[in-house]
Chain A
């Protein structure tokens, strides 16, 4: 399993995927810093108070995180969808799986390698963006590590989701399904927020079901919560309208849900293993 994981990480390096991701992260961070600088200077010229600037910067940071979250999800789908399918289609898997290597070890090895790359990318980009914003605006989110961890968690869930499909479907089909599912899960999350704001239980129920089936959106709540200044949470956290905003979180995801997200990954890998084991090569 470790051999396959290291091979997979090596593959992303040799294929220059890792370097492209790092370069993209650096570009994104430079643009973020530049944008926040412009916002800061415009706000100071307009005589905006420091508290308001802090609020504004935190919102900009959340929007940047949202953009980055999308890019990360696409990256995860892009990396995960060919992980098994391409090896099976090309014939590379035949030579590898004829060795004393369990299919579960091969699959988990591929997942572990890609999850490491995705997590590294999330950590690098997230931490650099937070550091750049802190440097130019002086705003530091109350919790630095948890939003990055939630970002990485979301990406790993989507990666796992695509790997399940990769055991049976061609790469392009699995990737397309993952992107659509991610979009639906996000939309379901937005509808859930609207449901809370309007007090519509049915909408909230559908949203909760979607979050259980693909637990990416609730982890997004963790990203937002970690990036918000504590004063925002204390001031408007209980307002019903605020709870209807997908870019606001009054509380972090419940621990039970985080545990479910971890269990979801384990179950999905189990399903992928069964699907791969049953596949004739």
Chain B
């Protein structure tokens, strides 16, 4: 299989739009995903994540915009040879054995006959199903079917791996396995497009993320870009709202019941703040300092987007 140059993006789309009747599922998506990159695509249910995946794979046609996947127009038939895909609704012929599902996909992707068996066995090994290779898929649990789907997506070392909610049916052990598999795929140069609403998962494996809601990008960039600056939270008693102006030199403070939050605020000044609070007669019970979680940021961004009725479309993700 010819290798693409590393400087050719795996995904490069501009103003991609999709409309289903009156519903605008995707309202102008512009993004670039590089080779060897793990890209997290986040959004609440119905945000347009799966629609994006289907457009990238040619399973649905865009209503507007366009772009390239692995340097070919999106939906290009021959390029699908180099793409592995785990659908959100992972269903495989229940009457086939696990190995047969993989050899079928190996045949469909055009692998020569003598490579299909070894590739299928390798994929089964990666996803931990070697000992179930000769069991029919209909007997598999959902988690095992999802592992099989991951094996199908990894078959033949594709240049782009598109995973739509890849751990939705997996137990914690399975989730850890998947993170390892994703990292290994990226290490060999594959781009991984990870569609998920499991933010901890994304946080642990992705190099860059985009958050979409209502078919629009509400934030994008590296995890540092999206999560923003550090925040300090202090559980405190004896502090009055009238004391807050004195704290503003550390950053903009907010007081919610007994929690004082200052964001942004660098962690190296926490001891100064605590000293000031004590001097002001407040009792400090707990201090937390650091970057907010992706989940917090995600909720903030989605809430902000909804209150504003959506951000302008076509934000470039890079």
A interface list, Cβ under 8 A from B: 3, 7, 11, 14-15, 90-92, 94-102, 280-281
Contact = CB atoms under 8 A, between A and B. Distances in A.
Contact of A100 (B60, B77, B91, B104): B77
Given A11-B93, A91-B91, A102-B77, A3 B107 contact: yes
Contacts of A99: 80-81, 105, 108-109
B102 to A, nearest CB: 11
A280 B60 contact: yes
Given A280-B61, A281-B59, 16 more contacts: A7-B93, A91-B89, A91-B90, A94-B87, A94-B89, A94-B91, A95-B87, A97-B59, A98-B83, A99-B105, A99-B109, A100-B79, A100-B109, A280-B54, A281-B54, A281-B60
A92 to B, nearest CB: 5
Nearest to B81: A100
Contacts of B83: 98
Most buried by A among B54, B58, B96, B104: B104
A84 to B, nearest CB: 14
B108 A100 contact: yes
29 contacts: A7-B93, A11-B93, A15-B95, A91-B89, A91-B90, A94-B59, A94-B89, A95-B85, A95-B87, A95-B92, A95-B152, A96-B108, A97-B59, A98-B57, A98-B80, A99-B105, A99-B108, A100-B77, A100-B78, A100-B79, A100-B80, A100-B81, A100-B109, A101-B108, A280-B20, A280-B60, A280-B61, A281-B54, A281-B59
B91 A90 contact: yes
Interface of B: 20, 54, 57-61, 77-81, 83, 85, 87, 89-93, 95-96, 104-105, 107-110, 149, 152
Most buried by B among A15, A90, A91, A100: A100
Contact of B110 (A96, A98, A100, A102): A100
Given A98-B80, A100-B77, A91 B87 contact: yes
A95 B77 contact: no
Contacts of A91: 87, 89-91
Contacts of B80: 98-100
B53 to A, nearest CB: 9
Contacts of B85: 95, 98
Contacts of A280: 20, 54, 59-61
Nearest to A100: B80
A77 B87 CA distance: 30
Nearest to A4: B108
A90 B61 CA distance: 21
A90 B94 CA distance: 10
Contacts of A101: 77, 108
A96 B83 CA distance: 12
A7 B104 contact: yes
Nearest to A13: B95
Nearest to A16: B95
B113 to A, nearest CB: 11
Contact of A95 (B58, B60, B90, B95): B90
The 3 A-B pairs at the shortest CB distance, nearest first, are namely A91-B89, A91-B91, A99-B108
A11 B87 CA distance: 22
A99 B212 CA distance: 27
A62 to B, nearest CB: 38
Contacts of A94: 59, 87, 89, 91
Most buried by A among B77, B78, B95, B109: B95
Contacts of A102: 77
A5 to B, nearest CB: 12
A91 B149 CA distance: 12
Nearest to A14: B95
Contact of B91 (A3, A15, A95): A95
A11 B95 contact: yes
Nearest to B82: A100
Contacts of B107: 3
Most buried by A among B58, B87, B96, B108: B108
A11 B93 CA distance: 9
A244 B138 CA distance: 53
B23 to A, nearest CB: 12
Contacts of B57: 98
A98 B87 contact: yes
Nearest to B51: A280
Most buried by B among A91, A98, A100: A98
A280 B57 CA distance: 12
Contacts of A281: 54, 59-60
A95 B59 CA distance: 10
Contacts of B108: 3, 96, 99-101
A179 B105 CA distance: 34
A103 to B, nearest CB: 10
A90 B92 CA distance: 9
A11 B92 CA distance: 12
A126 to B, nearest CB: 28
A192 to B, nearest CB: 43
Contacts of A96: 108
Nearest to B79: A100
A215 B91 CA distance: 37
A101 to B, nearest CB: 5
